[in-house]
Amino acid sequence: MSYLQSLLKLTRTGSIKLIAVLGAGVAVLAPFSQAQTIIKPEPIGVTYSVKPDYRKCAFPLCGGWYLTPVNQYSLALQTEDEAYESSALLPNTIYVAYINYKRLGLTTKQIAELESAMRSEQALLRGNILNTPKTTKQLVRKAVAQTQTLTVNGAWVGANKNTPVGSYLNISSTGIMCITTPCPYFKANILNSDSSSEFHDLSLEKANLDREQEALAWQALSTNGLIITGTKYETTGFDPTGNEPGKGVGVAATKIFFSFPPKK
């Protein structure tokens, strides 16, 4: 069941009454704008999908990790058809020999858990790529090739092995509540961009979560944001006055990523 369906069910049974009252006793709602909101990006690095390098040459030239910046071919919400078209394009990848997890404060066991997810291509990492510092011995041997290290400041692991379809998004609540719908309940920040879009409904059905995971997803959405891949669809609102409801935009999550390590 989507967020909007849950809310409308409660509204019709009288369990929820959303009334905004000003001095004159008039219900007031902020109009919804379809225009894209530009936000100021934070200097926190790039978000990558990760997979291991299985080439057989000597480490560190081989045997590290391939990083793919997400949203290479789309910086906007996509329909399902647009998402499949983008997925057919060959992405640009970056090879790094090392990954520095120090800023995440992980234990040895947690690093092993995260790298297990990375080997099965079920993890996202955010950070900055830097040249790996050379040892004194390597500096003397000038022929040693320069390698690169990803310094990580954020990590997420997939809730399951669903195929990611659509744009990579950080979904959060706008805090807006309305009497009629469509209502811009949610904001989607497009990862690796300075763009965001407000939208009206969120469905987790295609993400195939169990009950515990679904509860964690809604909790994340209302706090630090929920990382997903998803596609947009058209929604029809609800007007209790009997007027013709408007059309809105919903997002169907296809894959959910939870922050790692889990927040306690």
pTM of the model: 0.79
pLDDT band at 76 (very low <50, low <70, confident <90, very high): confident
Structural tokens at position 255: 């894959």
Rounded Cα distance, 200 and 37, in Å:
15
pLDDT of 20-67, one tens digit each? 322 333 233 333 333 333 334 446 899 999 999 999 999 999 999 999
pLDDT band at 134 (very low <50, low <70, confident <90, very high): low
Q: Which residues contact 210 (CB under 8 A, 6 or more apart)?
A: none
Q: What angle do CA 163, 167, 172 make, to 5 degrees?
A: 105
Answer with the residue of higher pLDDT: 141 or 145.
145
Closest CA to 224 of 184, 183, 178, 257: 257
Per-chain mean pLDDT for the chain: 83
Per the DSSP assignment, residues forming a β-bridge with 228 are: 169, 256
Q: What is the pLDDT of residue 29?
A: 31
Structural tokens at position 46: 């790039």
pLDDT at 165 over 60: yes
Q: What is the pLDDT of residue 246?
A: 83
Q: What is the pLDDT of residue 9?
A: 41
Q: In this structure, are residues 177 and 156 in contact, taking their beta carbons and an 8 Å threshold?
A: no
